[in-house]
Amino acid sequence: MSHGPVAVERWGVWEGRFAGPMPSAGHGGPGFSVDFDRDGERMSVPGFFDGDGHYLVRFSPPDTGDWTYRTRSSSEVLDGQRGWFTVTAPGPGNHGPVGVAGTFHFAHADGTPYRPVGATVYNWVHQATDLYESTLDAIAEAGFTKLRFLVFPQGGGHVEYVPPTFPFARTADGGWDVDRPDLEFFRAIDRAVADLLERGIQADVILFHPYDRGEYGLDGLSAEEDARYLDYVIARLSAYRNVWWSLANEYDQLERPDERWDDVFRQLVRIDPHERLRSIHNWIQLYDYNKPWVTHASIQNGWAVAEPGRAVLYRDAYRKPIVLDEIKYEGDTVERWGNLSAQELVHRFWLATVGGTYATHGESFLTAEGTLHIVVGGRFRGESPARLGFLRRILEEVDGTGLDPIDKWDDTTSTVGIPRRLYLQYLGRDAPASWAFSLPQGVLGERVELGDRYAVDVIDTWNMTVTRHPQVFTIDDVQRNSAHARGEVQLPEGQAIALRVSLVD
Amino acid sequence: MSHGPVAVERWGVWEGRFAGPMPSAGHGGPGFSVDFDRDGERMSVPGFFDGDGHYLVRFSPPDTGDWTYRTRSSSEVLDGQRGWFTVTAPGPGNHGPVGVAGTFHFAHADGTPYRPVGATVYNWVHQATDLYESTLDAIAEAGFTKLRFLVFPQGGGHVEYVPPTFPFARTADGGWDVDRPDLEFFRAIDRAVADLLERGIQADVILFHPYDRGEYGLDGLSAEEDARYLDYVIARLSAYRNVWWSLANEYDQLERPDERWDDVFRQLVRIDPHERLRSIHNWIQLYDYNKPWVTHASIQNGWAVAEPGRAVLYRDAYRKPIVLDEIKYEGDTVERWGNLSAQELVHRFWLATVGGTYATHGESFLTAEGTLHIVVGGRFRGESPARLGFLRRILEEVDGTGLDPIDKWDDTTSTVGIPRRLYLQYLGRDAPASWAFSLPQGVLGERVELGDRYAVDVIDTWNMTVTRHPQVFTIDDVQRNSAHARGEVQLPEGQAIALRVSLVD
């Protein structure tokens, strides 16, 4: 079999299909991987059984040019197959996978900054097609740039719906045979990732979770079974450039020693040839995000953005991007994790932003069916998604790697930015009637100089307006920790206001 | 030489003195260490040259009973000397060295809780005797339980005084010969540690610092020279049970890669037979306190206790005791690190306390001589030390390992405690006129039950009074996240008030 001269985009997915022997129950398939070569560059990519006597390999080429491949397997028929294909320049909208940039931020492989404004629908992929699609549309229309969802379906807890497929075939004694993945189930996961990719949304794939409630027992697989599943799901999904690995939601509810999670991370590092982003999400106890295999901190803690000045502390502790992947939800549940007002949730996103961190949305109004948007998805009822789409726009207008606290030891003005060039200051949900021009000065990086000239945009974070103030401000007073210009900006008093202050060249 | 039947207390210092050859310039002395044995228990303790043709070894026996020893050296005269001595039960006030207890707290080896209420006088030990002694008296009288001070003298920066001795002899070319320690210098350090020990104060010994300003060049030793110095100073001091190792003050001002500090930590672990506490103090960038050789986080960040709800985040990040070893100082300097009011500094200590963390004091009123208390010491001028002595008393009255946040995800009441048994709630610097009885309930640990009865003490943190409220409160309403009793406590409105709520058996 030779796929040349089929062409694939750089950072796209090249898929090869090869005939091979059926995997056997309890023993799995033959080892199967493919070496891809180009000018001395080699990537070894694990393949996987895809039913019907066929094995697939998915490879996302990191560079343009002609690539050759050679299969490797303990099965004679699968081993030693060769071919080649051409990798072309990326098409429009393909900026490559997201990686860490500037210590605390993210960028695509081509350098385009990526700013997470995330959403959460845990059982999105397990729902009937109509609901699945309306969720996808809602997320995309709101402008979210990342979606967190579970691979394993949730059992109970606002979930009445039993999905039509499960990840594995059953064993004779009612357990799960992790060596016989259910192809329909995993193809639905593939499709979910691909659907997000098509819409430019990162797929934050949650590999394990504790929400089984004794229903399915997928939280009770052994470490060895987990590892087999991981081999499989990583081989299927890793080639999609929008994949992020989230080892678990609320990992510490699973009551496993941290060492078991360390091992899962190590396995991920070992088996994922595309080196997608890796993190894990907590309940009560934070995982140690300083461990070398963690690419960014994925933290649940609404408290960290309930007031200014908190989230920034996580940056110092981890020196990695901080994504606050659960800060409580907009909704009306009795439990306090699910009854934020839209105004409060939007406020928290802005506090995350001016802490130099990122946040993730979820909606939890109790529906007539007794469920929540975060659990099953659908259209949004809440008022925050539109405002978060607006925040996304503001973030995308930042020309630079990302926004960092200017004076983190004394950030009394809640200001982030790029020293001297750009400042974003958040005045909170109850802005004063006017603002006297003043900028903080940090210890590191460039400083505002006498004579520097700035334009000021008044950003109404709730009403979604950006209003340029007519005056250009000229710095006439530079202090050790601040810089000032004559003049005031009138504000819509009592509104949730941010200011964008930009150096005028 | 045989020291028996000389007796020494458990956790005391047993010192042996042995004749040996002079160390040679550039080559150091012969290797010299002593093995101590008791019933199959062995500790190998490094010795050190103490001048006049003699070597010392200092050993702090961890257990009572008869110990034998045997010297080891490449020098024949120093090698193979044997003896024995008896270790008796600890005397009054000797609770053993301090270690980590309950993840976030400290206790002496005999189980007695230890609560850091620290002070800071960087160049204490380098001052003339009068000043040195008045500092010691001031620290002890105020009731501080820990003192941070430098081994190497500071060069410039509020320091006019050039100390009479330096740590090493000079080389011919004006450098430092780290193999020829100045004995007068190091004996002064010994004495400082012993003087603190006598007063029950922990010695937070700062091994390196960046405050040289080109004066002495002690910040410019090579990694190899630093290591030789470390061998020496650890051998001299480690046997004192009140020693803590602080690798550096504002380590990141020294602009060395983290790996060099990692190596210093590794050396400490290797050479310190008594395993004293180990941390490092930051300027802009935090060291990774999750690294296994760090026993507690020693953090500079006043911002973390400028408002409630911040310091607690460090606990989650590190799962180790958090000691905020610089939160700005009480004083009147122009720089913002040194001009807190006494009220504000005391307030920050209370915020540290209700964040489940500890803090450290420093005073920085500019003196007539152009210096500061944190630099040279002396009597206190400030008003905070008395209030911190009062806080120490409150902490010592806690019957338990330490105070932990009750509801860290939503700590809107700034409450720490021991679930069900004891609560300390801080109402801030501007207390309301009354407080309606209410306690938060956490997710983990014991919960307040219907019918539980509580006494309430009103603590005036500034006026240093504790007033027991006459009513005993009986819980009559238990919610998921709180518990309530009928009744109100009248408060001194506008004062800095804390409440202590204790279960009545």
Do the domain assignments include residue A46?
yes
Q: What tens digit of pLDDT does each residue of B35-66 get?
A: 999 998 999 999 999 988 999 999 999 999 99
B267 and B189 co-located in one domain: yes
- Within this chain, do residues B182 and B311 fall inside the same structural domain, yes or no? yes
Using one digit for the tens of pLDDT, what is the confidence trace for A281-296? 999 999 999 999 999 9
Tokens of A88: 């072309």
Quick check: is B401 in a domain?
A: no
pLDDT beyond 60 at B322? yes
Contacts of A409 in chain B (CB under 8 A): 301-303
Tokens at A39, concatenated: 């000018």
> Tell me, what's the pLDDT at A4?
55
Same domain, A159 and A30: no
Residue A156 — pLDDT band, cuts 50, 70, 90? confident
pLDDT of amino acid B399: 96
Q: Is the same domain home to A286 and A333?
A: yes
> What gap in Å lies between CA A287 and CA A284, rounded to an integer?
10
Domain region containing B77: 7-88
Strand boundaries in A171-266, DSSP class E: 176-181, 202-208, 243-248
Return all residues near A130 (Cβ < 8 A) that are at least 6 apart.
none
Contact (CB<8Å) A303/B481: no
B143-170 average pLDDT score: 91
Residues A205 and A286 placed together within one structural domain of the fold:
yes
Residue B412 has pLDDT above 60, yes or no: yes
Contact (Cβ atoms closer than 8 angstroms) between residue B390 and residue B355: no
Which pLDDT value is given to residue B52? 87
Which of A88, A120, A146 lies at the terminal end of a domain, its last residue?
Answer: A88
Task: Tell me, yes or no, whether A279 and A416 share the same domain.
Answer: no
Residue A324 pairs in a beta bridge with A299, A359
**Domain end marker among A346, A375, A396:** A396
- Contact state of A290 with B290 under an 8 Å Cβ cutoff: yes
The whole-number average pLDDT for the span B170-191 is 95
B336 and A302: CB-CB below 8 Å? no
**pLDDT higher than 70, residue A422:** yes
Number of domains within chain A: 3
**In this complex, do A301 and B317 lie within 8 Å of one another by their Cβ atoms?**
no
Option in A288, A310, A410 nearest B313 (CB): A310
> Residue range B162-177: average pLDDT?
93
Count Cβ atoms within 10 A of the Cβ of residue A307 and give its class: 0-12 exposed, 13-18 middle, 19 or more buried: middle
Mean pLDDT lowest among A134-148, A311-325, B168-182: B168-182
CA dist., res. B497 & res. A169, Å (int): 63
Q: What share of chain A is helix, strand, coil (3-state, %, to 5)?
A: 25, 30, 45
Q: Collect all residues of chain B within an 8 Å Cβ-Cβ radius of residue A309.
A: 303, 306-307, 310
Whether the predicted pLDDT of A409 surpasses 90: no
A104 vs chain B: nearest CA distance in angstroms? 14
Q: Give residue-wise pLDDT tens across range A82-129.
A: 999 999 999 999 999 999 999 999 999 999 999 999 999 999 999 999
N residues, chain A: 505
Chain A nearest C-alpha distance from B293 (Å): 14
Domain boundary pick from A350, A366, A396: A396
- The encoded tokens of residue A68 equal 């050759």
Contact B3, B61 (CB under 8 A): no
Distances (CA, A) of A82 to A2, A14, A49, B24, B479: 6, 14, 18, 69, 67
CA A353 to chain centre: 16
A302 lies in some domain: yes
User: Who contacts B102 (Cβ-Cβ below 8 Å, separation ≥6)?
Assistant: B401, B402, B404
What is residue B152's predicted lDDT score, i.e. its pLDDT?
Answer: 97
Which residues in chain A have their CB less than 8 angstroms from residue B443's CB? 284
Residue-wise DSSP of B70-85: EEEESSTTTTT-EEEE
Q: Is residue B93 part of a domain?
A: no
Using alpha carbons, list the distances in angstroms from residue B412 to A119, A338, B426: 27, 17, 11
| Closest among B84, B78, B89 to B66, alpha carbons compared | B84
Task: For residue B289, list chain A residues with Cβ-Cβ distance below 8 A.
Answer: 317
What is the pLDDT averaged over residues B73-90?
95
- What is the per-residue pLDDT for B5? 56
pLDDT tens profile A444-459: 889 999 999 999 999 9
Cβ atoms of A78 and A36 within 8 Å: the answer is no
* Tens-digit pLDDT profile for residues A254-272: 999 999 999 999 999 999 9
pLDDT at A26 over 70: no
Q: What is the C-alpha separation between A301 and A299, in angstroms, rounded?
A: 6
CA dist A407 and A427 (Å) reads 16
Handedness of CA B399, B401, B402, B406 (dihedral sign): negative
Residue of B nearest to A282 (CA): B316
Cβ–Cβ under 8 Å, residues A264 and A247:
yes
Query: Residue A32's domain is classified under what CATH number?
Result: 2.60.40.10
If you count DSSP H runs as helices and E runs as strands, how many of each does chain A have, helices first? 8, 31
Domain shared by B120 and B82, yes or no = no
Averaged pLDDT score across all residues of chain A: 95
Q: Give the range among A146-160, A335-349, B109-123 with minimum mean pLDDT.
A: A146-160
Dist. CA B159–CA A355, nearest whole Å: 37
**pLDDT score for B443:** 84
> Does B484 fall in a domain?
yes
Q: State residue B23's pLDDT score.
A: 76
Sequence-distant (≥ 6) Cβ neighbours of residue A116 within 8 angstroms: A106, A145, A146, A202, A323, A358, A359, A360
Top pLDDT among B59 and A2 is at B59
Which residues share a beta bridge with B181? B168
- Please report, for the domain that includes residue B264, its CATH number: 3.20.20.80
Cα distances from B204 to residues B40, B120, B393, in angstroms, run: 32, 9, 21
> In terms of domains, do A279 and A180 share one?
yes
Rounded Cα distance between B145 and B132, Å, is 17
pLDDT digits (tens, 9 = 90+) for B189-230: 999 999 999 999 999 999 999 999 989 999 999 999 999 999
Question: Which pLDDT score, from 0 to 100, does residue A5 have?
Answer: 57
| Digit-coded pLDDT (tens) for A208-263 | 999 999 899 999 999 999 999 999 999 999 999 999 999 999 999 999 999 999 99
Report percent pLDDT > 90 for chain B: 91
Same domain assignment for residues A411 and A390? no
What distances in angstroms separate CA B331 from CA A278, B342, B360, B365, one per listed residue? 46, 8, 14, 4
Distance from CA of B286 to the nearest CA of A (A): 6
Residue B2 lies in a domain: no
More confident residue, A342 or B409: A342
pLDDT tens, position by position, A362-387: 999 999 889 999 999 999 999 999 99
Contact between chains at B301 and A307 (C-beta distance less than 8 A): no
Which of residues A28 and B168 earns the better pLDDT score?
B168
Of B288, B314, B409, the CB nearest to A301: B409
Question: How close does chain B come to A38, measured CA to CA in Å?
Answer: 36
- What DSSP assignment string belongs to B421-476? TEEEEE--SS--SEEEEEEE--SSS----TT-EEEEEEEETTTTEEEE-SPPEEEE
Of B289, B309, B335, the CB nearest to A303: B309
Alpha-carbon distances, residue A297 vs A227, A287, A366 (angstroms): 23, 9, 30
Residue A2: pLDDT above 80? no
Query: Which of B104, B252, B300, B303 to probe the A interface (max A CBs under 10 A)?
Result: B303
Asked whether residue A99 is domain-assigned, the answer is no
Q: Give residue B227's identity as a one-letter amino acid code.
A: A
Considering chain A, what percentage of its residues have pLDDT values greater than 70?
A: 98
Please name the amino acid found at residue A159. Answer: V
A159 and A118, same structural domain?
yes
SS3 A426: strand
Q: How many CB atoms lie within 10 A of CB B482?
A: 17
B28 pLDDT band, cuts 50/70/90, is low
Please give the backbone phi and psi of residue B481, each rounded to the nearest 5 degrees, phi first.
-115, 10
**Of residues B132, B102, B101, B98, the one with CA closest to residue B118:** B98
Cβ of A301 within 8 Å of Cβ of B411? The answer is no
Q: Which residue has the tokens 């690190």?
A: B337
Residues B237, B384: one domain? yes
CB contact under 8 A, A301 and B286: no
How confident is the model over B244-302, as pLDDT tens digits? 999 999 999 999 999 999 999 999 999 999 999 999 999 999 999 999 999 999 999 99
Give the sign of the dihedral formed by CA A418, CA A420, CA A424, CA A430. positive
Q: What integer pLDDT is reported at residue A27 of this predicted model?
A: 54
**A103 lies in a domain?**
no
Do B275 and B419 lie in one domain? The reply is no
